[in-house]
Structure 1
Amino acid sequence: QDLQREAESQGLLDLPAYLALKVRHSLHVVLCRTPAPVAGRALASAPLRLSHSTFPAFLSRCTVNWVPQPPLRCLAYLGTTVLQPLLPSTELPKVVEATLGVHTHAQKVGAPQAEVVYVGLVELLRRAVRGP
């Protein structure tokens, strides 16, 4: 509701278009793994290709950093300074729960962390734009 009102106040009646605009101007993706091949295949190649074909404008406006470990202080800072102002307080627990679920699933299946986290971020974006 808050995002809908904010979009309308800026003259944008299409909420998915407004969300895409916000993402284009403020998203910074951090992939927590080195970009070396894993088990003879390129890291996250299939999900990256699929997401790029689904959201080309989204990815063309992203900054992607490859790091060997999660930058926890940086993520905490981004969460409190970027997510809190953008999301209604009722949505924050859902985002945190979804993010933790993605990490837990990655650990259970032994998947490359960057691949699973990236797919999780794209799924969150897809739900925000299209609904559950």
Structure 2
Amino acid sequence: MSGAMVFALTIELGAAVLVTWLTWSAAAGKSGRNDLAGVRTRVTMSSEAAWRTGHRAALRPTLVSGLLVVAWCLASIVVTPLRTPASVLVAAIVLLSGALLSIPTAHRAVRRTASDHRG
């Protein structure tokens, strides 16, 4: 069971790194709008500028949740009593929470930028 938990925690750790890197890449303008990765909503997909603006705003919650998941997974791998299904679930919930929080954060930033340009 311990080997399976290490494997699952490693997958969670990799997912956190990947999600954080993808968000950073979009925020930096290195990856444009696409159908595979990023905050893909009507608001953020409306233009390249909206895509970058939304991802710049989404980077903070994504980075925080990503760092928390990486730290938690590393601790859970090293500290044997933490190698449980609950630890994997905690990592998944924290990563998902960061992703879900990034959506309204991205939308607010895009809408604020749009209203700034109108006003």
Normalization by structure 1: what TM-score? 0.31
Q: Counting strand residues as a fraction of each chain, which structure ranks higher?
A: 1
State which structure, 1 or 2, has the greater radius of gyration over its C-alpha atoms: 2
Write 1 or 2 for the structure with the bigger share of helix.
2
